[in-house]
Chain A
Amino acid sequence: MTGNHDVIVIGAGIVGAACARACAARGLQTLVVDAAGVGGGATAAGMGHIVAMDDSPAQLALTRRSQQLWSAIAAELPTEVEFERRGTLWVAADEEEMQEVLRKQTVYAAAGLETEVLDARSLAEAEPNLRPGLAGALRVPSDAVLYPPAAASFLLRQAMDLDAKLLAPQRVVAAANGQVSLDDGSRLYARRIVNACGAEATRFLPELPIRKRRGHLLITDRYPGFVHHQLVELGYLKSAHSVAADSTAFNVQPRQTGQILIGSSREFDAEDSTINHALLGAMLRRAESYLPGIGRLRAIRVWTGFRAATPDKLPLIGPWPEDASLCLATGHEGLGITTSLATGELVAAEIAGVRPEIAAEPYLPARFGDGIRTDSESMLFGEAAYD
């Protein structure tokens, strides 16, 4: 493992695995280092929703491109990845939210995404367990679900088939100027170092504009057919959360096993992995308000995980202005599973010095310029992003 590498990727989550795969595919000698195993951080804690999102044109471009890349490899994904094109239903509770459905449809259409507007009746037919009286929904059939740790494993295996190497478990203590220091005292050298450490990215770069945003998820026993699509409420768009307040939203996912994942919650400044029972309760009551029968299902497990949140809800992908050897691939908040593939593509293009498929500028860390604050309290964090 010693000697020089073209690229060292720190972090074997799904983003790190996708970066390694894309770099190896460009013929770059790539080494991945992780303190634990493959896909054990936020990758293991998240839902695994491949979703097109339109909070901003840049977010739509990144998620749309990623969705295309997932589609391109869908046939190759092994069964344990549990990839299923379930489609998303953006559920509108009232006429005001139906206006949002129409707006969303227009935006998605402009991006080449086919969608379908469901009225109240077709929504009830599509998902009989939703409460009566909902206004309708936007169906995005190209959205999918998968099991993220298995997906990360698959991407990393592909990278290793292209001669990438994995060093794990091995903790990195410092990474700068083309040099990676390990906790056993040894050092590794590379032309470029990719920081793909999610919410832990600040361990090596404390000045990064990233804050941990804790989330809760619950998984049930097997109830095949209880829901058919990934169900997400549109309601949060009009709710007036203050920028840093804790919040919950209705977001429910059917797993291939018949199990159901129930989310979601968002909290800043919760640094440990304990359960916030008040927030968990609020999250479950929110889910029950849409799916009245959900309280009768058996819960098997509740856990928390940390999203890496940025002030403008866009990830940090590309060179770090302070250190030419460093390339960032973090700050994906709740969209890292989806956007891992486009992130890898952008990182590999940057390192290989070629033009990427989509414009890299919106995601460049340099957008925060000299104004990057070390005091995270003073950062202006935007409205709640998607889970």
Chain B
Amino acid sequence: MKKDFDILVVGAGPAGIAAAIAAAENGLRVGVVDDSPSPGGQIWRRGTQPPTAARRWNDRFEAAAVVRMMGWRVIDCLRLTPEGGILRAECNTPGVQPADLHFRHLILATGARERFLPFPGWTLPNVMGAGGLDAMVRGGLPIEGKRVVIAGTGPLLLAVAAQLTAHGASVVAICEQASLAQMAPLALALLRQPGKLLQGAKYRWATRKTPFFTRCWPAAALAEPNPGPGSENEPQPRLQAVTLHREGKQWTVACDYLACGFHLVPNTELASLLGSRIQDGFVVTDQQMRTSIPAVWCAGEPTGIGGVDASLLEGRIAGLSAAGKTEAARALSKRRPGMQAFARALERACRLDPRLRELADDQTIVCRCEDVRMAALRGRSGWRDAKLHTRCGMGPCQGRVCGGAAEFLFGWSAGHAHPPLYPARVSSLMEEAEEEAMAASSSHPAIEPE
């Protein structure tokens, strides 16, 4: 299947929605591709009741003349020139042929994912991502009466705590690794955005019965003692409690779920595959959200973790700029510095305490796909060396989980992305792009292991 767009947007979160609307309102053929079944991104699909702003944007998105390809994943780039290119996408529904998405301009709005840090017991069942648990509860996981510990860093913790409390969970502790002093500049920045401050206050009010600890983190998740004979139907040990650490003190809290989120890691794999410049983990853009590659823009979290408002603004700028409305884009971009100040305050507030590097012991698994333990990684010279010699990051998650941990633990930055961007059917890589007269190459280095 071949589809032609003037502007193709990858990602249907706030940045992608705003970009698509801005471009479509200027009369261009716009397509949006996202692997989720519905638009909204992690932030609007998940978590709190969709705020009014989200509903308004979603309504506009529904009304816009945009081709929505929900449930499709971009797996490869078949061609990229200054005049445009072709991305190949695979449908999550089995049996559907892959699609070749031709574009003149491409906007990357690929969002971010939670960062996980390894500590003893983090791979036990019922230890999960904070946003992940939130999404499962919204998807119907019964949480009423369950005891939940929420740990990590960032504003997400409080939002998830409020949401789970509203669903009847008993949130027994919220553990923020940062100190109050570290979070102060964020509070100051929030004073300029009363809406956010008010929302934060609402969350805290909703969770007022739950202790909120700063400089606190999980030292270990503890399992029930091995199930005795007669419990073969439940062979895996289950989470029973979590040992928390704060200022040299440790204590143990019984719980049914441990929800962790150590801030966010931007999704830059597609940008990397295209060869776009990435610095300190983020995609480099100019004020018009243009990347280092002609015909490719980037908006939202991959350019810097700035939250919904920054994503909406960057999405609109990218959409206008890609549609050729340079003046309008430039006018909007004057509002970016304020947003970037907030992003910097957020980054500082969420900066991880170096002591978190000591949580994992030698036996703690870092890479869940390939069962690679901490001891195997010590002494490796970098991410690629670790991949080659320990298989870390070589499994089906392609390093999306352990890569963020390794970056913090060892300072290793991820190498260039390889196709397919997600595990894809071999058959999806068999056919050449339609209307391709000659062999097309994408632009990414690819010498790699095995």
Q: Taking beta carbons and an 8 Å cutoff, which residues of A are in contact with B? A: 37-41, 44-45, 48, 80, 147, 149-150, 153, 169, 217-221, 255, 259, 261-262, 272-281, 284-285, 287-288, 294-306
Contact = CB atoms under 8 A, between A and B. Distances in A.
Nearest to B445: A273
B21 to A, nearest CB: 33
Contacts of B440: 277-278
A89 B347 CA distance: 56
Select the residue from A217, A255, A299 with max chain B CB neighbours within 10 A. A299
Contacts of A80: 389
8 contacts: A38-B389, A40-B385, A217-B450, A273-B445, A295-B426, A299-B420, A301-B448, A303-B449
Contact of B433 (A153, A217, A277): A277
Contacts of B398: 300-301
Contacts of B446: 273-275, 302-304
Nearest to B440: A277
B425 A275 contact: no
B89 to A, nearest CB: 15
B427 A274 contact: no
Interface string B314-326: 0000000000000
Contact of B419 (A153, A275, A288): A275
Given A40-B384, A149-B388, A279 B426 contact: no
A169 B398 CA distance: 26
A150 B389 CA distance: 6
Contacts of B425: 295-299
Chain A contact residues, majority secondary structure: mixed
B429 A218 contact: yes
A274 B389 CA distance: 23
Contact of B448 (A274, A281, A298, A303): A303
Contacts of A280: 429
Nearest to A220: B426
Given A40-B385, A150-B389, A274-B444, 16 more contacts: A39-B388, A44-B449, A149-B389, A218-B429, A262-B426, A273-B444, A274-B443, A277-B76, A278-B438, A287-B426, A288-B430, A295-B430, A296-B427, A298-B423, A303-B447, A306-B447
Contacts of B444: 273-275
B436 A278 contact: yes
Interface string B359-392: 0000000000000000000000110110011000
B96 interface: no
A288 B428 CA distance: 12
Contacts of B436: 278
Contact of B447 (A273, A295, A299): A273
B78 A304 contact: no
Contacts of A288: 426-427, 430
A305 B447 contact: yes
Interface in B406-447: 418-420, 423-433, 436, 438-447
Nearest to B380: A37
B426 A37 contact: no
Contacts of A220: 426
A169 B430 contact: no
A149 B385 CA distance: 10
B396 interface: yes
Contacts of A294: 426
Contact of A277 (B396, B432, B450): B432
Nearest 8 interchain pairs by C-beta:
A295-B427, A278-B439, A303-B448, A274-B441, A298-B423, A149-B388, A44-B449, A284-B430
Contacts of A306: 447
B235 interface: no
B395 interface: yes
A37 B432 contact: no
Contacts of A217: 450
B432 A40 contact: no
User: Which residue of B385, B389, B447, B450 has the most chain A CB atoms within 10 A of its CB atom?
Assistant: B450
A280 B438 CA distance: 13
Interface in B61-101: 76, 78
A280 B428 CA distance: 11
B436 to A, nearest CB: 7
Contacts of A45: 447-449
Contact of B430 (A41, A147, A285, A300): A285
Contact of A279 (B384, B419, B439, B449): B439
A302 B418 contact: yes
A306 to B, nearest CB: 8
B388 A274 contact: no
Contact of A303 (B395, B418, B430): B418
Interface in B242-290: none
Contact of B429 (A150, A261, A302): A302
Contacts of A302: 418-420, 429, 446
B426 A296 contact: yes
Nearest to A37: B385
A280 B88 CA distance: 14
Contact of B423 (A149, A150, A300): A300
**Interface-centre pick from A44, A272, A273 (highest chain B CB count, 10 A):** A44
A277 B381 contact: no
Contact of A153 (B389, B394, B443): B389
Contacts of B426: 218, 220, 262, 284, 287-288, 294-299
Nearest to B398: A300
Of listed B385, B420, B448, residue having the most chain A CB within 10 A = B448
A44 B450 contact: yes
Contact of B424 (A279, A285, A298): A298
A149 B449 contact: yes
Contacts of B429: 218, 280-281, 284, 299, 302
Contacts of A40: 384-385, 388
A281 B423 CA distance: 16
